[in-house]
Amino acid sequence: MNSTIKFILIVCGITLPLWSIAMPSDELREAISPITHPKTKARQNRIKESAINRLYYPHSQKIEYYTARNAKKFIKMAKRGSIEGQYNLGYCYYNGEGVIKNYTEAVRLWHKTAEQGHADSQYNLGYCYYNGFGVTKDLAEVIRWWRKAAEQGHATAQLCLGLCHYNGIGVTKDLVEAVKLYRKAAYQGLVGAQYHLGSCYYYGKGIGRDIKEAILWYRTAAEQGHAKAQYNLGGCYHYGIDITENLAEALKWYHKAAEQGVVDAQYILGLCYGAGKGLDENLVKAAYWFHKAAEQGYAEAQYLLGLAYDDGAGVTQKHTEAVKWYHKAAEQGLANAQFNLGNNYRNGKGVTKDNAEAVRWFRKAAEQGHTGAQYNLGACYYNGLGVTKDIAVAIKWWHKAAENGSPEAQYYLAKCYEEGKYVTRDITEAVKWWNKAAEQGDIRAQYILGERYEKGQGVAQNRNEAIKWYSKAAKQGHHIAKLKLNNMGVTW
């Protein structure tokens, strides 16, 4: 594996990001179900998260039931006052099945059946009022109709009403009431409610925190295909949260969630394949999952995908593609991407060389505390690359980078103090920064420290310290350090 990417993926021995449990969205629109065909493949032995959950048709009813011919039959039934006919005709108008699509007519028909206590119609009316389909948006009407349906045991209405209480949409925020409604729907088998109930238990929202109970509901929903529940269950196994830590089991659930488009799971899989964590190292698969997450706007995945294209790791090397993905991540404020993008502009790699543009991106990353960018920005000011030459500003940025641990910045900052360039000459300060750089393996600083200790410049003369630093530099191939040691009669 390319060493650069390996270094990115492995930070202090941790190859996976800190897991953050997926919480229910604050946007009700993401959680409520659209009105769908009642006889979809999903209708089996449990109630799925569909808008119309309980219909009058036998389970064997085929999708072809909604045709122009049957629409005519529904019209006749509706005229005779049949609730079934009016409800089904409303469905036909809503979806344009056998008749011209007409939300207003669908709402009119569902109003009739809803007033007669038809729970599916009541739910559908609430849905239309929420979205403004055939009626003016009206949260009070949304709550009124969903409450009527929920009181009749309509699972999806219970879930949606629970979400309203959870988020304070159309009603006063009431987490306890939300949990009560989630539980009713969850026990009917509604996977969305099971997921939300699990999250309430996990965070202790509206009920006492109980991780075991959260895992129970996450598993129940995950086994039925709920993507976020799968991701959360994977996280519990990954970090051993009230369950035996099991990375293989975690990855199994991450895979399922990733295949359904959960971006965090896709990113984690990319990291696992890239670093060989719990899976055989596979850069092609790593790049595949990074690509999936990157396409959904995940900044860290965009950055790592750019790195893969820059280095040809798991993909054909293509610097222009690297720049494209760095740009996307950089625009989202990711400092690493901004730094790499700056380097590509500075070196003309995958893009026309442009020092001013390089400085622009270095500055963005530097202002976020990126050490490499701070050093590079200082170097640009020192050399007048893309900006007007300004040694004082260069030193300012090198100071920041040096304090953040950049050996290059520490070395050049020491040089400035030694020479008194735009700072008061201070050999002691210079030795301090050379020492920091040398301890990080900077060969130049190691040699200079050896020389200072040998001659007693800025430090007390010390033969042993001189030999120590000359030896370190010599082992890295510094020829003059080798000669110094030979002259001192030292075998290194």
Q: For the stretch 316-331, what's the b/e string if a residue is b when 16 or more beta carbons lie within 10 angstroms of its beta carbon?
A: eeebebbbbbbbbbbe
- Residue 279 to residues 25, 220, 244: CA-CA distances in angstroms? 31, 26, 19
pLDDT > 80? residue 48: no
Instruction: Return the bridge partners of 11, or none.
Output: 14
Name the pLDDT band for 143 (thresholds 50, 70, 90): very high
Q: Residue 223, CB half-sphere, CA atoms under 13 Å: how many?
A: 7
Contacts of 469 (CB under 8 A, 6+ apart): 438, 446, 447, 449, 450, 453
Q: Residue 178, CB half-sphere, CA atoms under 13 Å: how many?
A: 26
| 234-258 pLDDT, tens digit each | 999 999 999 999 999 999 999 999 9
Residues of the chain by 3-state class (helix, strand, coil), percent to 5: 65, 0, 35
d(CA 162, CA 182): 6
Quick one: pLDDT at residue 238?
94
CA angle 232, 237, 238 (to 5 degrees): 90
Quick one: pLDDT at residue 323?
98
Quick one: pLDDT at residue 70?
85
Q: Residue 120, CB half-sphere, CA atoms under 13 Å: how many?
A: 22
Closest CA to 231 of 262, 271, 202, 205: 262
d(CA 106, CA 188): 28
d(CA 248, CA 344): 38
- The answer to whether 225 touches 232, Cβ cutoff 8 Å, is no
| 167-215 pLDDT, tens digit each | 999 999 999 999 999 999 999 999 999 999 999 999 999 999 999 999 9
| 110-136 pLDDT, tens digit each | 999 999 999 999 999 999 999 999 999
| Phi, then psi, of 11 in degrees rounded to 5 | -120, 115
Name the pLDDT band for 280 (thresholds 50, 70, 90): very high
d(CA 333, CA 361): 10
Quick one: pLDDT at residue 69?
81
Closest CA to 5 of 273, 406, 266, 365: 273
Contacts of 3 (CB under 8 A, 6+ apart): none
| DSSP secondary structure, 186-199, as one string | HHTT-HHHHHHHHH
